[in-house]
Amino acid sequence: MVSIRDVAAHAGVAISTVSKVINHYPNVSEETKEKVEKAIAELGFVPNTIASALSSKQSGRVALLLKLNKRTNAADEIAMQYIAGAIQRARELSMDVVTVFYSMLEDKSVEEIIRYFETQGVSGIIIYSMDQQDEALLQLIRTDRFKFVLVDAPITGPNISSVSIDNRQAQKDVVLETAKQNDCSKILYIAGEESGYVTGERIAGMKELAREQGYKLKIVYGDFSEKKARELTLRYAKRYSVIVCASDLMAIGAMRALMDMDIFRPVCGFDGIVLMGYAGKQMNTVRQDFENISAEAITELRKLLSGSEGQQVILPHSLVRMKYEDVIM
């Protein structure tokens, strides 16, 4: 392993000078900088992240805190895109990523959670889809031990940023799109979990829309479960002209229930997952670019770690209509 020491010797400068070049310190003369860079290239030197982390107490290491939803493949799809987006951006910013699942933190006290992350050397944490009632996590983000970026939870602070799409507007948009071709005057809205942050936003969008357009609106909670959406559809669908769901998974559940009932109702989803292509019928849905959302979360975290204040970041969404032909390749 070629170390900074070798580079220093090869370039004929001091170790500390090499370090300064590596870390882009301002006060290094062009001349020596070139010498060092040449030596680095010739020796194929790459800094040892471990040593760097130990020395600087700044690991540049971030944790992704994700929900792992076994048995529903939609959750996998989203989580995987989150992971991929984060890892790739992290690599560009030469940050280090460790993936953690909620299940690994269950029944741990805040102190234990803190220690866990500390020993892992993480300095920033991205929390995906935090629940409003997750006390441990809420306490955690209030400690100043780490920097946080919350995806889909609109909490900000000096060391907390939030990243998400405009859920309220997106929810309105997808219904308006559907209304172009269909009767949406009587809406059955199948919301997510009552304790989810996005749930409130999306419901707010629906209420606003109903008011503006004079639609009738019935709200029920499907808990983001395909099965529950199916049951709710079987029970209520007949009385409404359209079914709007807060997730694609629920939309698929609703659609298949409708097919079983042999009645037609337009269905809207939310998320834009590939699985929609297998639903049997096309539906309008909001497409969230999860990879990009996650990548932006990393970028935000980088900023926080560099001393910036937390902020709220709203990313764009789009509307799509997915069909089988589009999702296979």
Strand partners, 268: 244, 284
Let me know: does 266 contact 242? Beta carbons within 8 Å. yes
- Residues numbered 41 to 100 that lie near DNA (CB under 7 A) are 45, 47-48, 51-52, 54-58
Sole residue written with tokens 């789009």: 318
Q: Is 328 in the site for DNA (CB under 7 A)?
A: no
- Residues numbered 269 to 308 that lie near a second copy (CB under 8 A) are 273-275, 278-280
Can you read off the two tokens belonging to residue 125?
């944490």
Stretch that binds DNA, among 23-31, 164-172, 173-181, 296-304 (CB under 7 A): 23-31
Query: Amino acid identity, residue 87?
Result: I
Q: Is 234 in the site for a second copy (CB under 8 A)?
A: no
Can you read off the two tokens belonging to residue 163?
């990243």
Strands 124-128 and 147-151: parallel
* Residue 118 Cβ vs a second copy, minimum distance, rounded to whole Å: 6
> What are the C-alpha distances in Å from 318 to residues 18, 168, 172, 321?
47, 13, 12, 10
List of E strands, 92-237: 96-101, 124-128, 147-151, 160-165, 186-191, 216-221
Query: Which partner in a second copy, DNA, none is near 20 (CB below 5 to 8 A by kind)?
Result: DNA
Half-sphere exposure (CA, 13 Å, Cβ side) for 225? 11
Q: Is 214 in the site for DNA (CB under 7 A)?
A: no
Closer to a second copy at the Cβ: 152 or 223? 223
Query: For 131, phi and psi rounded to 5 degrees?
Result: -90, 145
Closer to a second copy at the Cβ: 256 or 302? 256
Q: Is 80 in the site for a second copy (CB under 8 A)?
A: yes
Give the integer Cα–Cα distance in Å for 13 and 256: 70
Closer to a second copy at the Cβ: 264 or 278? 278
Residues that bind a second copy (CB under 8 A): 1, 44, 46-51, 53-54, 59, 68, 70-73, 76-77, 79-81, 83-84, 87-88, 91, 96-101, 104, 111, 115-116, 118-121, 225-227, 230, 252-253, 256, 273-275, 278-280, 324, 327-329
Enumerate binding residues for DNA (CB under 7 A). 1, 3-5, 12-17, 19-20, 22-23, 26-29, 31-33, 45, 47-48, 51-52, 54-58
